[in-house]
Structure formats: C-alpha cells, structure tokens
C-alpha cells in the first residue's frame, strides 16, 4: 500500500459538457483538490492562452464515475467538467482519469484537471470567468 487514502474534505459537481450546454451528471461528490507533492507538472506557453499551465489533481472515492476524453469512446467527444468546490464558480475540464492503489484497501480515483475559462483556449466557454477573489 504505497498511498494513504486521502481525506475527501470537499464536495464537487461533475457535469457532462461542453460548458455552454452542460448537464449535471453527479452532484455532491466527495473529493480532494490537490497539487500532489507541490511539484508543478505543467508548463507555461504564452501563445496558448494559459492551457497547459499548472494543473490540479482531483482525488475521489474509488469507482467514482468521472470521465476523460478517452472514456467517452466517441471521437471528438468532450470530457467531463467539474466545479470544485461545488457552487464556487471554479471550473475545470478533466484531462485524464486513472486509479491509485488499484486492488488495495486504499484504492481511490485520480482525475487530472485543467482550469476552464474563456481564456483557456477550449471551445464553448464564452463568458466563463472565475470569480474574483477566488474562493
């Protein structure tokens, strides 16, 4: 057992996208918004409007139904959208999902997130801006 089961101290909402026509799929999902060991796994590309910058990880209970683009199974489909904490106006898109500790008692799910807003370079986000100050 290489990992300790995290505390799921927040609630998030998981939507199916795209953002401008999103539909709530799961509400009040326990989660943990983390940066791992506080080592930023990303890069800054000033020509790409912020996409690819530091990403966050979302830790969730085992088998939580959160979907990345691969899981959709349809070419060109969109990944899930997450608002975390729920009701905060902090929006992310799910870039990748996998499991941590698979088969062990501390199994939980990991979702790699990217901030979602009108400047992120993602389609269908017109008028989406994070709240200021950020909650």
Q: How many CA atoms lie within 13 A of 126 on its CB side?
A: 3
Examine residue 97 and state whether it is found in any structural domain, yes or no: yes
Give first-to-last CA distance, the chain, whole Å: 34
Domain hosting residue 34, numbered range:
10-115
* Whole-number CA gyration radius for the chain: 15
User: What is the count of structural domains for the chain?
Assistant: 1
Examine residue 125 and state whether it is found in any structural domain, yes or no: no
Examine residue 123 and state whether it is found in any structural domain, yes or no: no
Cβ neighbours for 26, distance < 8 A, ≥ 6 positions apart:
13, 14, 64, 65, 66
Residue 51 banded pLDDT, cuts 50, 70, 90: very low
For the stretch 71-97, pLDDT in tens is: 666 666 678 999 999 999 999 999 889
Examine residue 39 and state whether it is found in any structural domain, yes or no: yes
Residue 39 banded pLDDT, cuts 50, 70, 90: low
pTM of the model: 0.83
pLDDT of 5 above 80:
yes
Report the share of the chain in percent with pLDDT over 90.
Answer: 50
Examine residue 2 and state whether it is found in any structural domain, yes or no: no
Examine residue 5 and state whether it is found in any structural domain, yes or no: no
Examine residue 132 and state whether it is found in any structural domain, yes or no: no
**SS3 assignment, position 48:** helix
């Amino acid at each position: 057992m290489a990992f300790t089961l995290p505390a799921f101290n927040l609630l998030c909402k998981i939507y199916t996208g795209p953002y401008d026509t999103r539909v709530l799929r799961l509400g009040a999902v326990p989660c943990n918004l983390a940066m791992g060991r506080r080592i930023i796994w990303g890069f800054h590309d000033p020509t790409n409007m912020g996409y690819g910058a530091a990403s966050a990880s979302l830790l969730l209970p085992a088998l939580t139904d959160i979907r990345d683009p691969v899981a959709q199974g349809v070419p060109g489909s969109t990944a899930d959208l997450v608002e975390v904490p729920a009701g905060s106006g902090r929006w992310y898109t799910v870039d990748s999902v996998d499991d941590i500790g698979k088969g062990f008692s501390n199994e939980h799910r990991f979702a790699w997130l990217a901030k979602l807003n009108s400047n992120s370079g993602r389609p269908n986000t017109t008028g989406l801006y994070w709240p200021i100050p950020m909650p």
